[in-house]
Structure formats: C-alpha cells, structure tokens
Structure 1
Amino acid sequence: MRIGIFTDAYKPLISGVVTSVVTLKEGLEKEGHEVYIIAPSAPRHYKELDPKVLRLKGFIIPRRSLKGFRWIPLSRIFTKRVRDLKLDVIHIHTEFSAGDLGLHVGKKFKIPMVYTLHTSYQDYTHYISKFLTKFAPSLAKRGAFIINNRYTKNCQMTIVPTKKIYDKMIRLKHDGRFTVIPSGIDLKPFYKSSHDPKDVEALREKLGIKQGEFVAMVVARVAKEKSLPDLVDGFIEFHKHYPNSRFIIIGDGPDRPALEHHIDKLDARDFIQTTGFVKHEEVGIYYQVADVFLNASTTETQGLTYVEALAASLPIIVRYDEVFDAFVTDGENGLFFNKTEELTELLIKVQEDKVLLEKLRKNAEASVINYSQEQYAKNVTKLYEELIKENNEKLALKNKK
C-alpha cells in the first residue's frame, strides 16, 4: 500500500503525536508498505534526509504554547503534489493545515481517509481561546467540538486509543464511525536490558543522585493540563518523611517558568529538579535512574509516557483516570490516587514496603507488551485494508448506476 500520513507535528518536534506518527511510519514500513509523511516545513537548522517526507512551506505560529509548530497557509495549493503520490489511503493526525489538505485530497480523489484523534479539544479550550474559556466556556466547548467533528464526520473511520475516548465521542455525539486501536511505541529503548549499567550510573552522577536516594520521576510536557504542581506538593510532603529522596521533572513547555517559580517559592530546589527538554532517543536511559514514575494528569488520550515507564520496569503512581484501565492494574503494576495527600501516602507506602515495590517492578514490563510497534502497525494495516475494500465496493456500485 501507498499510505499518506498528514500531520502538523513531526520531527524535530517532540510530542506524543510525533512519537505516535514516527512509530506508525516505521512499523508500516517494516510491514512492506510505502509511507509518505505530509507535514509543514522544518526549522532551518533541521535537514530533512527522508525522501518520503513531503515538507510544505509553513510559517511560525507566534504563540508560546505552540512553539515550534508551523501553519501552512492555503494548504490546498499543494493538492497536485499530493495527488502525484498516488496514495491508496490517507491517515490524518491533525485538525489543522496539513489535516485540511488531507481532507481535501481524500474527498476530491475518492481516497479512503482515517483520522486518529490525539486531542479531544474539549479538554484544551484554553489553547483555542483563553478569553472564551474564561468568559464563555460553553461557546469555547462548542468551538472545540466543531474542530474534532469536522474530521470524525468526513473520514471513513476515526481511531481512538482507548475505550475512555470512544465513550466520550459517543457521549458528545460526534458524527462518524470509531474504532479503538491503542497507539504503539518501540518498546526496546526503554527496557532495562537495553542499557549498560555503567551508562546508567554515569547519568545518576550527572543528575546528582546520591547513593541510596529514592527517586521519583515524571516525563511530561510542562503545561497546565499536566497538573505538575500537584506532584510537587505531594512530593514535598513525602520528602519530610523521607529526606533521602529526589523528584526529577523531565520536559519543557509553556508553564515551565511558573512551575519553577512554584518549586522555588516552596524552597524545594535542593530535592526537586527540572531538566528541561531531553531528546526522545535519550529518554529511555533516564527512566533507568528512577524508582517510581508519577503523573497527575486526567486529560490523557493514551498516555504513551506511562507505557514507556512500565516498559522500563518502573511502577507508576498516577491520578486515576479511565485511560489506565487498559494497561494498569492497581496494586499489580501501579497505584492510583485521587487527592494530592493520597500521593504522599502512596510514596511512603512503596518506599517502606520493599516487597510491594519489587512486585510492581516485576509486573511492569509485561503489562505493556500489546503496545509494541509491531502490533500497532498490524492493527492499523488491517483497518486500512478493510476501508480500501469498502471504498472500492462503493465506487464499483456507483459506476454501475
């Protein structure tokens, strides 16, 4: 098959969407398919070496929350370039300029279209308009609905990563058809067996981790919806009980200055550190220096960093959300909390109960085997084949009339 993936987020950007797209592309190519990425132009310092990545001229978006993203004005002028790729199926991973081009080409040339919903914008209206979110929240949510619904309505199938998101789409009465396919990742870079203990020890020294120190970690975009201050507050209380501990926050984002101010205000800089941006290909070794993985977000559509942590044999202590029902069993490979004070209690519990901590570690890696790159590619390939067959039958029936 010749597959076109349309996305506004691609390398060298770092995000869950980019990880998902790269994983899918590589997995499909291993299956023998030709995969083309249609994305905005990359930053000047980045040289595109992949001939199957079609870069369309885009302009920087002057918003801090969208740093690194580019907008393709009049994207439909590139219709001929995309048509010449002779695509069998179009897979859209965005709601904006590259996505608009994908919809246009799919409709014009009767190519079956798949849409992966990475972001349900009802949870992110502050990115659409802070003013409307504050003063007209119902109008903001309506706008968010329209953004997603344009794609769910016009594509032949929408992929959602969890039953939680599937149920939400039905509850919100989005148009279209939906199927649940968990996003996969290349798990190998996160396995403990993939890393030399000497390299792990060198990283521990670089980060200033002391001998015997209990280390908690989060890998996340530093943004409002991740609720990182809650983790900071809960860990500070834990640190009072167990001073030989450290919390490492990996990631960057629009709320990083506010988060660091929060840490400084609470005089916690000695044991809570922020690393800022870390290249995705280097993140795997960072998981190896931690004892537990924390998160407090309840707006995840799939939670790929949680899967990464579990693949690294890291128990996860996370605020409960339905998205975890597919791969986290409370007390087996992770622990759930709701209130911040419960996070403190659970940290104390796993630090004191070494038997429980070891049990969680042993169960972690095996619990995410279904999220492998190979399985993801196989699941999506099967969907493509079904939609292409369905599309051909419809076209044949139409030509008979």
Structure 2
Amino acid sequence: MRIGFFTDTYFPQVSGVATSIKTLKEQLESQGHEVYIFTTTDPEAEDFEKDIVRMPSVPFVSFTDRRIVVRGIWFAYQIAKELDLEIIHTHTEFGAGFLGKMVANRLRIPVVHTYHTMYEDYLHYIANGKVVRPTHVKHFIKMFVNHSTGVVCPSQRVVDTLKRYEVDVPMKIIPTGIEVGRFIRPDITSVETEALREKLGIQNGELMILSLSRISYEKNIHVIVEQFPEVLMSFPNARLVIVGKGPYRDELEELVEQLGVQKYVQFTGEVPHEDVACYYHAADYFVSASTSETQGLTYAEAIASGTQCVVEGNDYLNQLIDHETLGATFEQDEDFSDTLIHYIQQQIKMDPAIQAKKMIEISAERFGSEIFTFYQELIHYYGENHDEERLPKRTVRKMRVRIASLKNSEDK
C-alpha cells in the first residue's frame, strides 16, 4: 500500500507526535508498504531525506519551537498524484492537515486522521486562554475530523472527547506502540547506569526519581516539585532528576529555589535520543502528574526499561499500569506524594512475566498491524460510501478552485 502522512510535526523536532509518526512509518515499511511524509521545512533538517517532502512553513503562534505549513498545496498534490497514493493519514489539524484533506479530496482517496493533542489543555498558551475558548475548540475539531473517513484514537479519553465534540465518523482506539527493543536493552550494564548516576551526583543508596517530558505547564511538573519536600520527609535520600526542555523551565527552577530543594532537584536539559534508555534504567522510579496525555509514550518506555511508574491516572494509564508490579496511579494532583511514598515503602519488585506480557500490548509491531487493518477497513468503507455529493457542492467547488488558484500563485 502507498500511504501519505501529512504532519506539521516531525524530526528534527522532538515530540511524542514525531516519535509516534516515525514508529508507525517504520512498522508499515517493515510490512512492505510505502510511506511518504509531507511535513514542514526545518532549519535543522538535512538537505536530503528519503521519502520526506518538506513544504514552506513558519513557527506556530505561541509555540515557537513548532512549525506550521503555510503553502505548497499544488506541489504536494502533484507529488501525491505521481506517487499514486492509496490513502492519506493526517496527524495535525492545522496547515499540513488541511493540505492533506484537500489533496485526498482531489485524488478521491480516503483520509484517516489521528487525534494526537487535547487542545483544551493548551488554551492558556494563547492570550492566557482569553481568546480561544473550549467551545471554539469543539466547533473547529468537529468540522475538521468529520471531514475525515475515520479517526485513530490513541485512548478512550480521545474517543470520549470527540463524541462530546459531536464527531460522528468511524473511530478506533489504537494506542501508540513503542520499539520495546530500544528500551529493554540488556546491553546497558550496571557499570553504565552507575556511571550516569555518578555524573548526576546521585550517591549509592540514594533514590533516583525521574521525570522525563517536554517542560511545559500542562505537563504538571510543578505538582511533583511542590510535593517533593513531603517525599523528602519520608525519604531524605530521594533525588529528583528532571529531563527535557521547554518554555516552563525557568518557572520550575524558581519554584525549586523558593522551596529550598536545589540540593535535591536537578535539571539536565534535553538528552540525546539514544541516551534516553540509560536514564530510564538508571532511575528507581518514573513519575508524572501530567493530565494532558493521549498516548503517554514515556510511560510505556519506562515500563519496557523495567522502571516502575507512579503517575496521575486516566482511562488509558489505568489500563497500562494495571498491576502493582508495574507501578501505581493516583487520581488527584494532591495525591502524588502520598502515593509515591506508599509505593516506595512497599518495595514491590517488577515481575518479569507481567512486564513481558505488557511488552506485547505496547509493541510497535502490534501498533503497525492494527493501523494497517484500520486502513483496509476505511478503504472498503470509503469505496462503499464515498460520493462527492456527500460533501456540499459549494465545498467541493471551493476545494477545486483553491488548488487551481494555488497552482497559479506558486507558478509565479
């Protein structure tokens, strides 16, 4: 099958969405399919990248480390037509997402969408939440997703949200898988993990508590920092290591100073992708209080690395961490410190058999297989139900005129 991914986020930008897309691309290609990525330009990108088409872009409002496609529709359409794509998979609701829909409509092929981001959790970034309201998100997402053939939902939370938005296209829950081999890593020795802990200033007998994510407000890392003094009262040998970069780091560092726990908390910044597994292996526990996750790749990575998780739960995470040997979840922000303290006190060991079973559930292989099956279902569904008259004639005409006008403007 020939598949086109349209996304505003891809490497060298580092994010859970980029990782998910790369994982899916590799899995589909391992099954013999052809996958082409249509995405943004990036000053850090290589000059030539196989099967990647980059289109002019600009930094996204309020997220200057992210980009959005601003033109190149005719260019993308011509390439997609030449590649004879059979299905388009959009991974954004903005520039490249709209572009993908227009190309799919012009080629008369199905378009599947993955809803990666819970936008209501990010409204504070746009004029402190005073301009864009939840009701605006609802209407925008309803319009965008309902013009897809189907939608991939990484978790039940996404399904519930889209139903609340009155989305009525076929949905399927397919959690994003991970390359478990990249994290099981029997080649990472105790010598290496001890060397990393020493580099971080963590002594023998001290507990390494790991937070690994983008450092942004919605990740709720401040909840962990605020309650860390309580953890220290029970475990004065605990050390919090915060890995990642993002716009909220300065505020977190100020909070650490205000609490007087500089000796017990450190920020590493972003670490190379190939070194992440070693951090998981070196840690005693992985923690998170994020409430904005739709797929939680870092949680799965921690479990694959053999590191137990203490995290704020939701429908997806409660299913992922469904046995005490894998970790514990808590319901409210204020429950973090008590849950972590209690879990450490229990001294529960990871059960290899339960971990191995979980690895099958979260594997990239299963992820790729389920996505391809959904593609087949949607192609059949599209063939049975597609009729240009299903879209308002005015909308179809606008799409055709838009592509034609953009061709003329790009030729100039």
Normalising by structure 2, what TM-score? 0.88
Query: CA 1:210/1:366 → structure 2, altered by over 3 Å: closer, same or farther?
Result: farther
CA deviation string 1:213-252 (max 9, x = no partner): 1111111111111111110122221112222120111111
Classify the secondary structure of the residue corresponding to 2:240.
Answer: strand
- Determine the structure 2 residue equivalent to 1:389: 380
- Determine the structure 2 residue equivalent to 1:52: 51
- On the 8 A contact 1:313/1:363 being kept in 2, the answer is no
Classify the secondary structure of the residue corresponding to 1:176.
Answer: coil
Amino acid in structure 2 at the alignment position of 1:378? S
- Determine the structure 1 residue equivalent to 2:365: 374
- Determine the structure 2 residue equivalent to 1:28: 28
- Determine the structure 2 residue equivalent to 1:112: 110
Amino acid in structure 2 at the alignment position of 1:94? T
CA distance in structure 2 between the partners assigned to 1:240 and 1:251 by the alignment = 26
- Determine the structure 1 residue equivalent to 2:127: 130
* Residue 316 (str. 1) matches residue 306 (str. 2): no
Where do 5+ consecutive residues of structure 2 fail to align?
390-412
1:335 deviation in Å?
Answer: 1.1
Amino acid in structure 2 at the alignment position of 1:250? V
| Greater mean deviation of Cα atoms: 106-115 or 49-58 | 49-58
CA distance in structure 2 between the partners assigned to 1:380 and 1:6 by the alignment = 16
1:296 deviation in Å?
Answer: 0.6
CA distance in structure 2 between the partners assigned to 1:396 and 1:264 by the alignment = 62
Aligned residues: CA RMSD: 2.2
- Determine the structure 2 residue equivalent to 1:17: 17
- On the 8 A contact 1:159/1:180 being kept in 2, the answer is yes
1:282 deviation in Å?
Answer: 1.9
- On the 8 A contact 1:75/1:98 being kept in 2, the answer is no
Classify the secondary structure of the residue corresponding to 2:83.
Answer: coil
Query: CA 1:173/1:394 → structure 2, altered by over 3 Å: closer, same or farther?
Result: closer
Report the number of matched residues.
Answer: 388
* Alignment partner of 2:280 out of 263, 268, 287: 287
CA deviation string 1:64-98 (max 9, x = no partner): x5233223223423222332221011000011111
| Counterparts of residues 81-96 of structure 1 (less than 5 Å) | 81-96=79-94
| Counterparts of residues 265-284 of structure 1 (less than 5 Å) | 265-284=258-277
- On the 8 A contact 1:152/1:177 being kept in 2, the answer is no
CA distance in structure 1 between the partners assigned to 2:15 and 2:386 by the alignment = 38
- On the 8 A contact 2:321/2:329 being kept in 1, the answer is no
1:331 deviation in Å?
Answer: 2.7
CA distance in structure 2 between the partners assigned to 1:75 and 1:333 by the alignment = 46
- On the 8 A contact 1:121/1:147 being kept in 2, the answer is no
Q: Name segments (4+ residues, structure 1) moved above 3 Å.
A: 338-342, 359-366, 392-398
CA deviation string 1:324-382 (max 9, x = no partner): 1321125342212234553222333233332x2x1468744542421111111111111
Where do 5+ consecutive residues of structure 1 fail to align?
none
Amino acid in structure 1 at the alignment position of 2:372? T
CA distance in structure 1 between the partners assigned to 2:242 and 2:231 by the alignment = 16
- On the 8 A contact 2:225/2:256 being kept in 1, the answer is yes
User: Percent identity of the aligned residues?
Assistant: 34
CA distance in structure 1 between the partners assigned to 2:174 and 2:83 by the alignment = 26
* Residue 342 (str. 1) matches residue 335 (str. 2): yes
| Greater mean deviation of Cα atoms: 28-37 or 115-124 | 115-124
* Alignment partner of 1:144 out of 134, 137, 141: 137
CA distance in structure 2 between the partners assigned to 1:216 and 1:11 by the alignment = 28
Amino acid in structure 2 at the alignment position of 1:304? L
Normalising by structure 1, what TM-score? 0.90
| Greater mean deviation of Cα atoms: 238-247 or 143-152 | 143-152
CA distance in structure 2 between the partners assigned to 1:103 and 1:284 by the alignment = 37
Amino acid in structure 2 at the alignment position of 1:247? L
Amino acid in structure 1 at the alignment position of 2:382? N
Query: CA 1:108/1:396 → structure 2, altered by over 3 Å: closer, same or farther?
Result: closer
- Determine the structure 1 residue equivalent to 2:148: 155
